[in-house]
């Protein structure tokens, strides 16, 4: 059986150094008010690879993403992005690394005082000051077309559905052409049709942009569709890591139970 690392290497984009992980999480611990959330977790993601992080609610999946993008700091362990440890980096230095990352929040976290176009334009206005207004508007239209929302360009976030908000969040996450995409429950709270559309969208984006992606989800069907490798978490650590078939073949009771219930 291929190890997770072998699978990652196989999925790596041609021409990339497949042995250098884009994201490397090593022995990370994180507690909140004495409650241990992550318990020595280690994960690696290579260029062009998609890793789905699965697990029950409260097992630290979202916390893991927040640590990777530096919104929270680990209690111990290291998180390296392109080989650079992000622990203790000042906000502005961390910003340089974050420019290479796109983050889709669970509730989309759109700026409620800005229109759909304003939300997508926001990172461009701050980081691509070389673009003229018309170039920026073109880029916004292109990103919104990519997620199928070019008709909602002037709407406010409160006037669009949850699924559309996630699409806008995705367009905003892609605005700076990130090398790493972090998606927190992209299909949570959506009907099956919208979930399927989001999955297809993520697959299409992966094909076109060849980003390294980490998708946190408890939707096994979605994980199977969009990710080449899955990691199942229990009590803040990885129980099993591999392809969906590896999970199906596993003798671990928790894995069997998770697959049965999903």
Partner 1 sequence: MSSRELTAVTRTSPQPPLRITEQILPVASSAAGLFNGFFEWFGELGTFSWRVLSAAATPPYEWHELIRQLDEVGSKSLPLVAMAGAAIGVILSLEARYSLSRFGAKSMFPATLVYSVVQVMGPVITGLVVSGRVGAGMGAELASMKVTEQIDAIEASAINPYRLLAATRILACILMLPLLTLATDASALLTGWFAQAMVEPLSFHQFIANGFNGATFSAFLPQTFKTAVYGLIIGLIACFQGMRTRGGAAGVGRAATNSVVLASLFLILADVVLVKFILVFFP
Contact segment (CB under 8 A) with partner 1 among 75-83, 93-101, 137-145, 217-225 equals 93-101
Count how many residues are written for the chain: 262
Q: Is 95 in the site for partner 1 (CB under 8 A)?
A: yes
Contact segment (CB under 8 A) with partner 1 among 30-38, 124-132, 159-167, 194-202 equals 124-132
Q: Which is nearer to partner 1, 33 or 134 (CB)?
A: 33
Q: Which of residues 41-70 bind partner 1 (CB under 8 A)?
A: 66, 69
Q: Which is nearer to partner 1, 95 or 192 (CB)?
A: 95
CB of 3 to partner 1, least distance (A): 31
Q: Is 249 in the site for partner 1 (CB under 8 A)?
A: no
**What x/- string results for residues 168 through 197 when contact with partner 1 is judged by CB under 8 A?**
----x---x---------------------
Residue 212 CA to residue 125 CA, distance in Å, equals 25
φ, ψ at 236 (rounded to 5°): 80, 15
Q: Is 17 in the site for partner 1 (CB under 8 A)?
A: no
Residue 3 CA to residue 29 CA, distance in Å, equals 24
Exactly one of 22, 23, 54, 110 binds partner 1 (CB under 8 A); which one? 110
Exactly one of 30, 44, 61, 98 binds partner 1 (CB under 8 A); which one? 98
Residue 63 CA to residue 90 CA, distance in Å, equals 20
Q: Is 84 in the site for partner 1 (CB under 8 A)?
A: no
Q: Is 254 in the site for partner 1 (CB under 8 A)?
A: no
The string over 49-61, giving b where at least 16 C-beta atoms fall within 10 Å of a residue's C-beta and e elsewhere, is bbbbbbbeeebbb
Q: Is 123 in the site for partner 1 (CB under 8 A)?
A: yes
List residues near partner 1 by CB under 8 A: 66, 69, 71, 91-92, 94-96, 98-99, 101, 103, 105, 107, 109-112, 122-123, 126-127, 129, 172, 176
């Amino acid at each position: 059986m291929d190890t997770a690392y072998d699978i990652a290497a196989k999925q790596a984009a041609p021409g990339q150094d497949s042995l250098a992980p884009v994201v490397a999480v090593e022995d990370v611990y994180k507690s909140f008010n004495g409650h241990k959330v992550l318990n020595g977790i280690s994960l690696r993601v290579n260029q062009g690879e998609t890793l789905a992080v699965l697990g029950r609610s409260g097992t630290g999946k979202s916390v893991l993403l927040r640590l990777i993008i530096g919104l929270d700091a680990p209690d111990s362990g290291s998180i390296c992005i392109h080989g650079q440890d992000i622990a203790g980096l000042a906000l502005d230095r961390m910003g340089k690394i974050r420019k290479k990352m796109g983050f889709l929040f669970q509730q989309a976290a759109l700026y409620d005082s800005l229109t759909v176009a304003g939300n997508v334009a926001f990172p461009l206005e701050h980081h691509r000051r070389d673009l003229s207004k018309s170039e920026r508007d073109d880029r916004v239209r292109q990103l919104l077309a990519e997620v199928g929302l070019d008709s909602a360009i002037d709407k406010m976030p409160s006037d669009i559905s949850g699924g559309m908000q996630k699409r806008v969040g995705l367009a905003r996450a892609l605005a700076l052409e990130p090398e790493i995409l972090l998606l927190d429950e992209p299909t949570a709270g959506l009907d099956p049709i919208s979930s399927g559309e989001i999955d297809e969208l993520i697959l299409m984006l992966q094909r076109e942009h060849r980003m390294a992606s980490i998708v946190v989800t408890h939707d096994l069907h979605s994980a199977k569709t969009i990710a080449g490798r899955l990691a199942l978490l229990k009590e803040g650590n990885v129980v099993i890591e591999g392809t969906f078939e590896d999970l199906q073949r596993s003798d671990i009771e928790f894995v069997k139970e998770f697959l049965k219930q999903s």
